[in-house]
Amino acid sequence: MIDAKKEIDDAKNAVTADNARSAMKFSFDDKSILIAFLLWFFIGCLGAHRMYLGKMVTGIIMAVLFIAGWATFIFFIGGPILGLVGLWWLVDAVLMILAARNQTEVLDSVIK
């Protein structure tokens, strides 16, 4: 029983304020939020930011929809498809901000 309590205390003490602050800098799940936002901004409609963050299936779906939207644009089918991809692109920005904020709150609670 004493060993378990000691292990828990050691684990709590292992996360120092400096470690937590350095972990907060643009990362969640070992991925850089800065790189994710740059990918989102420049080639986000192709789902690159989703693929970078490990969401391969939805990233590929986003890329396929984007390409299909442009391929069918002259038939007036691609407009709504591109609109949906654009909306998805904007929602992803909000979701990334919320994920980064959530991680910051978790790390802040560890510091206190």
Residues 6+ apart with CB under 8 A from 54: 29, 31
Lookup: tokens for 30: 């070992």
Q: pLDDT tier at 27 (50, 70, 90 boundaries)?
A: very low
Listed by start position, the domains of the chain span 15-104
- Residue with more model confidence, 110 or 98: 98
Predicted TM-score (pTM) of this structure: 0.67
Q: pLDDT tier at 79 (50, 70, 90 boundaries)?
A: very high
- With 90 as the cut, is the pLDDT of residue 7 above it? no
Q: Average pLDDT over the chain, rounded to whole? A: 81
